[in-house]
Structure formats: structure tokens, C-alpha cells
A = this chain, B = another copy of it.
Amino acid sequence: MRMTVRIAVAGASGYAGGELLRLLLGHPDIEIGALTANSSAGDRLLKHQPHLLPLADRELQDTTVETLKGHDVVFLALPHGHSAALAEQLGDDTIVIDCGADHRLTSADDWTRWYGGEHAGTWPYGLPELPHGRDALVGARRVAVPGCYPTVSSLALAPAVDLIEDEVVIVAVSGTSGAGKSLKTNLLGSEVMGSASAYGVGGAHRHTPEIKQNLSAAAGRPISVSFTPVLAPMSRGILATCTATLKDTAANVREAYEKAYADEPFVHLLPEGLWPTTNAVLGSNAVQLQVTVDADLNRLVVVAAVDNLAKGTAGAAVQCMNLALGLPETTGLSTVGVAP
């Protein structure tokens, strides 16, 4: 006999909310409860998520504590800064999985610098594949789902932190869905198609302190992070190119990655000679990695691919829910991508 877990999704009309529902529809232990939105409250879900036919007739409700409470798990897929107030009122009998940034950073100063306002506090960080990453997640009542760029960047470099100097350079090419459904001119199809553009250049992207936090924690010393995101003409996927100078020319880099991820169900080091593509992880919870060393510079280069909406957001959220509930970590998740 299986337990049925009743969940709610706040922010069900957006891309992260839609992806959560897509994955939860395939999860054998889940019953989908309340779906909430803001300006779209009152609409049928089909209008906003035409790919979720089994939920087509569900009505979006207002995002209120009253609507959300009483579920076993509440997923928050809200703009930054909207999670804390809701979460406080939900109580510890509800597991809250926050896909927003509110509870990711450990430093209140960092929060204030990068997001503004007061820090809402730090929750267990939802990247189990980091060193000791699972410890705080098993049985957790609150989880902060990592940002999409920090997920792929941290997994790409964490196994090497003892082998590298203190500064890493990351350039991550991303699809546009990471920006959500915001109505901005630069996100219009006519602007995006056929074009690449960088943004948040010079350390200005808010995921920078989160990557730094993860790598520094893994290293046990401060790691500096030069991070540049680049928008490419695709809906989903991030391909991160991550480089750092090796301390030692003789470092066995590949071995470090093999060891780190040997038992991880979702992080996959590709055989030598094959390189990741974002297509191969589309819709899946997998991260595909390849590593090499530029011998002329003694520089490590790691390339990693992730689906920003799946393992980069909603897949991680489901994975963390599984850990929080004591379910097998991979339940309802897959390493099979949708390609081509």
C-alpha cells in the first residue's frame, strides 16, 4: 500500500510551476491539490499550461495561506521575496519547498546586497549531490531549491575544489525560460531567435553569491567566482563552461569526478570524447558533465548541461521532496531526456 502525498503549487501559471506539475503528474505517490496564481487566479489551468491536459480544467486559485494550508507539501514558485511570509504561516506540519531565492543564501549581508531588503533566513539547501548535501535534506520540513545556474556550476566544479586555485571563471549559455513569462522586449521571440546576448555581466547576476557560497563550502576556503550568463535562442537548457587553474599539473581530475559522482543517480560524467548537449537532458533530471585539462595552461575545463526548469528547478524540488518525505530519492524523476 502506498502513501499518497497531497501537494499544492503556488505559482502554477508560470514556467517553474508548470514544470513542477508536469513532473508531479508522473510521480506515483502524489495527489495534486490546490493550484494558485496571482493575476491569473480564476482561470482554468489549460489557458496557461496547455501541455498539462490531465489538469486542464483545474481552476487557479488565489495565492493565500488559506488555500495552501492543509497540504502535506507546498511548492512555492513565486517571485523573489514572496515566500517567507507565506511559509511562516504554513506551520511545520506542512513541508515547504521554495523554488525562489529567499532562503538560499546563508549570509544575511549577501542577501541584502544582492536582493535588497531583510534576509528571511536560511533553509536546507536543495542540492543533495554536493558534499554532505543530503544530510540536511532527509526529513527536512523546509527546503530552498537552488538557482539553476548555481546547480549546474556547483556540480561542475565541486569535485575539483581541492585541485584548483581560488578563482573560477564560468560562462553559462542559457535558454530563455529561466527568465519566466516576464513581458520584456528583449525576451520576445523576434529578439531572441537568431541572437545571443550576455547579461548580468561583471559579477552582477544574483546567482553569483550562491555559486560562491557552494564552492567555498565545498572547498573549505573562499573561492572567487567570475560568472557570466549568456542568453541563447532556445527555450530550455543551460550549458556551463567552467574553468580554473589547477594547482598541480599532475592532478588526476577525471578520477575526482568519477569518485564524486559514482553513486549519484542524476549526475553523469560522460565517457571521454563525448561532450554534453542541452538537448540530451531536456525534460530530465540529469546533469551531464565532461572534464578535460588544457595542458598548455594547466587549466581545468568542465562543461556541464542541465535543463534549467527540470533538474535546475522543478526536478530538484521533487528530488528534495522525496528526501524530505523519506521516499526513494529518484521517485518520479528520470535521466531520460526528450531529444531531438
Q: Which of A119-127, A254-262, A297-305 contacts B (4 or more CB under 8 A)?
A: A297-305
Main secondary structure of the interface of A (DSSP, over half): mixed
Take A169-B243, A171-B171, A192-B193 as given contacts and tell me if A303 and B338 are in contact as well, using a CB distance cutoff of 8 Å: no
Whole-angstrom CA separation of A249 from B232 in the bound complex: 32
Q: How large is the interface on A (under 10, 10 to 19, 20 to 34, 35 or more residues)?
A: 35 or more
Contact of A297 among B50, B224, B301 (CB under 8 A): B224
Whole-angstrom CA separation of A293 from B274 in the bound complex: 35
| Contact assessment for B47 and A201 in the assembled complex, using a CB-CB cutoff below 8 Å | no
- What 8 pairs across the A-B complex have the smallest Cβ distances? A189-B192, A51-B337, A195-B279, A202-B292, A171-B171, A203-B294, A183-B183, A51-B339
| Contact assessment for A176 and B190 in the assembled complex, using a CB-CB cutoff below 8 Å | yes
Give a binary string over A158-190; 1 marks a CB under 8 Å from any B CB, 0 the rest: 000000000101010101110101011101111
Take A173-B230, A189-B187, A190-B235 as given contacts and tell me if A279 and B51 are in contact as well, using a CB distance cutoff of 8 Å: yes
Q: Which residues of the partner chain B approach A51 to less than 8 Å between Cβ atoms?
A: 279-282, 284, 336-339
Take A18-B339, A202-B294 as given contacts and tell me if A181 and B190 are in contact as well, using a CB distance cutoff of 8 Å: yes
Whole-angstrom CA separation of A232 from B172 in the bound complex: 12
| Contact assessment for B336 and A26 in the assembled complex, using a CB-CB cutoff below 8 Å | yes
| Contact assessment for A335 and B224 in the assembled complex, using a CB-CB cutoff below 8 Å | no
